Chains A and B, each alone.
Chain A
Amino acid sequence: AQTVTQSQPEMSVQEAETVTLSCTYDTSESDYYLFWYKQPPSRQMILVIRQEAYKQQNATENRFSVNFQKAAKSFSLKISDSQLGDAAMYFCAYRSASNAGNMLTFGGGTRLMVKP
């Protein structure tokens, strides 16, 4: 079974600075997807960014980018120019490309605080 680990329960960053959230995963599969979800106080789950394992190029979405290290099974999220609205819980998630159940396996989450 796949597992996803987020080793940082909480992180803080100064507004306008850059922060990196860590995620490692364990799988024996070669084809899969990785995701970062944001959960603000409203509790809504918001997809921030996704990465296909077969792509070597790291995904980017505006101020959000990932560092995908397939051999190391590492998938970190970098937030540049942090804003107060970035304060939230962030979840790393894994999905097998062959999973007919479309199940996402989540890490335990990292709470990000942004200081003004």
Chain B
Amino acid sequence: EAQVTQNPRYLITVTGKKLTVTCSQNMNHEYMSWYRQDPGLGLRQIYYSMNVEVTDKGDVPEGYKVSRKEKRNFPLILESPSPNQTSLYFCASSSHGAAGYHEQYFGPGTRLTVT
């Protein structure tokens, strides 16, 4: 089954404790991205990757890091989480990011709470 998986699905942590949210896709997609969802703001892109070792900032990259060492994986790293990073996070992938329509497949979401 084609899917995007994220782990963990729920995470409660404390300010400053480094954490990683994993994302994996089994569709051999070149393009992957991370979004955060906040009430009234919809989803906003954090980072994206066009392929292995190619990453770039989205609209709200501050406080986040990513890496793309393998095509299937795109982890989101919070080196020093703060309460304003409490949010619902989605990973998404698509066949490639060039012009034209490419449907994005979303993961199930990770609910992060930073106290």
A: residues with CB less than 8 A from B are: 4, 6, 9, 33, 42-45, 47, 50, 52, 91, 93, 97-104, 106-109
Contact = CB atoms under 8 A, between A and B. Distances in A.
Describe A's contact surface by its main secondary structure. Answer: loop
Contact of A107 (B42, B45, B59, B94): B42
Contacts of A9: 40
Interface of B: 31, 33, 35, 40-45, 48, 50, 56, 58-59, 88, 90, 92, 94, 96-104, 106, 108-109, 111
Contacts of A102: 31, 33, 48, 94, 96-97, 102, 104
A43 B99 contact: no
9 nearest CB pairs, A to B: A106-B42, A45-B106, A102-B97, A43-B109, A106-B43, A108-B40, A103-B45, A108-B42, A101-B48
A44 B33 contact: no
A41 to B, nearest CB: 11
19 contacts: A4-B42, A43-B88, A43-B108, A43-B109, A44-B109, A45-B90, A52-B101, A93-B43, A99-B97, A100-B50, A101-B56, A102-B31, A102-B33, A102-B94, A102-B97, A103-B45, A104-B43, A104-B45, A108-B42
A99 B41 CA distance: 21
Contact of A47 (B48, B99, B103): B103
